[in-house]
């Protein structure tokens, strides 16, 4: 069974690979044998990460909101490495006004953020799937969802802080989860599996008041660490999940069961 998690001979593209969750995912996929393409807008962060991982990792700059650039990077990956076996969508594109309180939301900001985030996930998955459908081995697409794509936010945990849960985030992540199900249903006949991973709150040096209030709720009594998302992604990328598609694997310390 251990061999089922071996990703040797697989090429994995992690979009947003230099980010908080993308970085440990890149490391985890490489640790399991994959050739990893760190695809990120930030050249300094992405190239440093690829160099640190070693010869199995390669940086490619991409702006996922630029459709032509995304298509070019995918073509280059296939030309260089011979296949595209795993795509992980972890990017978090947003405009400068993202995260405003509900009362200050404008329709133009709503439209722009939905376009940047949801539409880039769709297009990246679409381009990757077109490659995977032509491969005898198919492929695995993994989208990053969120607990707030499953249920409404608990606004009590933001009391006394300058943080909030943006309305566009909930709408986008909910849409990504149903996009995942649609793609899984449509692409299954071609051997392409499509799944999602939905993390709960991930610690990122947030205000202590927020951390304390968040950690009072989930059964495990704490926020998650970025590295704790990796196992779910490696599983869904690997042969261990060969009969798993259209699923949303929730990694939240039990938040959504309460």
* CA–CA distances in Å: residue 218 to residues 81, 96, 206, 232: 42, 31, 17, 19
Q: Which of 169, 182, 186, 235 is catalytic?
A: 169
Nearest CA among 103, 125, 255, 251 for reference residue 178: 125
d(CA 64, CA 41): 8
What are the two backbone dihedrals, phi and then psi, of residue 66, each rounded to the nearest 5 degrees? -105, 105
184, 245 contact by CB (below 8 A): yes
Our answer to whether residue 169 is catalytic in this structure is yes
Helices (H), the chain: 22-31, 43-53, 67-81, 107-114, 120-132, 167-187, 208-215, 230-237
Cβ atoms of 144 and 21 within 8 Å: the answer is yes
What amino acid positions are annotated as catalytic residues?
169
């Amino acid at each position: 069974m251990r061999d089922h998690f071996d990703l040797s001979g697989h090429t994995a593209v992690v979009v947003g690979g230099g980010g908080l969750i993308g970085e440990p995912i890149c490391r985890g996929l490489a640790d399991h044998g994959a050739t990893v393409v760190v695809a990120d807008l930030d050249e300094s962060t992405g190239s440093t990460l690829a160099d640190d991982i070693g010869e199995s990792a390669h940086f490619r700059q991409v702006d996922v909101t630029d459709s032509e650039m995304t298509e070019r990077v995918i073509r280059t990956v296939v030309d260089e490495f011979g296949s595209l076996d795993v795509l992980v969508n972890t990017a978090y594109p947003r405009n400068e006004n993202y995260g405003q309180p509900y009362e200050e939301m404008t329709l133009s900001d709503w439209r722009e953020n939905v376009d940047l985030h949801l539409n880039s996930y769709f297009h990246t998955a679409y381009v990757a799937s077109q490659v995977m459908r032509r491969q005898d081995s198919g492929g695995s697409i993994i989208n990053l969802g969120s607990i707030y794509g499953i249920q409404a936010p608990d606004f009590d945990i933001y009391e006394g802080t300058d943080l909030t849960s943006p309305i566009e985030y909930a709408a986008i992540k909910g849409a990504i989860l149903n996009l995942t199900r649609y793609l899984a249903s449509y692409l299954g006949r071609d051997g392409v599996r499509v799944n999602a991973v939905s993390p709960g709150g991930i610690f990122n040096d947030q205000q202590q008041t927020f951390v304390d209030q968040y950690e009072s709720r989930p059964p495990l009594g704490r926020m998650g660490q970025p590295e704790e998302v990796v196992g779910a992604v490696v599983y869904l990328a690997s042969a261990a999940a060969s009969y798993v598609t259209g699923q949303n694997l929730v990694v939240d310390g039990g938040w959504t069961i309460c």
